[in-house]
Chains A and B, each alone.
Chain A
């Protein structure tokens, strides 16, 4: 079946530094990818929709200058958390839409801890 790979699985960084998370669709092309944030015991919170070759669409309340999204190819989207602070610590999940099957597949998630 379709697979979405997310890397890194977990990362610890110092406050003020930037962290990049990659999301790759391994066996299908994804013109659209999604980035979510999830707090413990809560549902997925959509942060932004990443469109290949164009600017990402951010949900209300999400700072686009802080959460930079790049969708440079049909199989790769990246989320960069800039100038990270402890409150950015969270579980970040990406997903990719497989058009041929009209379904969404999720990555395994990335745990970010900012110290």
Chain B
């Protein structure tokens, strides 16, 4: 089956700096890669996704890049704000969804 690894597990950045979270996957058949943000005490919310026929996607301060050859994809958050503090999960999917172990992001004001 698929194996999704996510790094780092914790990340602290100063407000205004950028944050990057990376995931690798093992199944070359995976073709959809969503990212979820989970705030304390709430369910994960889909924030951005990318499909295997695209290399990069951007939505305001959030961007995701995909390298199919290397089987890795990354979440980039620019101009971070305190409200970006949360746990972020990546996922890779073909027929099944496989989640990364999460990254706890703290944005220091």
Question: Which residues of A are in contact with B by a Cβ distance under 8 Å?
Answer: 1, 4, 6, 34, 41-44, 91, 93, 95, 97, 102-109, 111
Contact A6–B32 (Cβ < 8 Å): no
Contact A103–B34 (Cβ < 8 Å): yes
Residue of B42, B46, B89, B104 touching A103 (CB-CB under 8 A): B46
Could you give, for residues 55-73 of chain B, a 1 whenever the CB lies within 8 Å of some chain A CB and a 0 otherwise? 0000000000000000000
Interface of chain A: mostly helix, strand, loop or mixed: strand
Contact B41–A109 (Cβ < 8 Å): yes
We find that the number of chain B residues with CB closer than 8 angstroms to chain A is 19
Chain B residues lying within 8 Å of A105, measured Cβ to Cβ, are 46
Kindly name the residue among B91, B97, B100, B101 whose own CB sees the greatest number of chain A CB atoms within 10 A. B97
Is B109's beta carbon under 8 Å from chain A? no
**How many Å lie between the Cα of A77 and that of B3 in the bound state?**
28
Residue of B32, B42, B97, B100 touching A108 (CB-CB under 8 A): B42
For chain B residues 52-102, which have a beta carbon within 8 Å of chain A? 89, 91, 93, 97, 99-102
**How many Å lie between the Cα of A9 and that of B62 in the bound state?**
29
**How many Å lie between the Cα of A4 and that of B45 in the bound state?**
10
Chain A residues lying within 8 Å of B42, measured Cβ to Cβ, are 108-109
Q: A38: nearest residue on chain B (CB-CB)?
A: B38
Residue of A41, A103, A108 touching B43 (CB-CB under 8 A): A108
Contact B43–A107 (Cβ < 8 Å): yes
Contact B32–A44 (Cβ < 8 Å): no
A106 smallest CB distance to B (angstroms) = 4
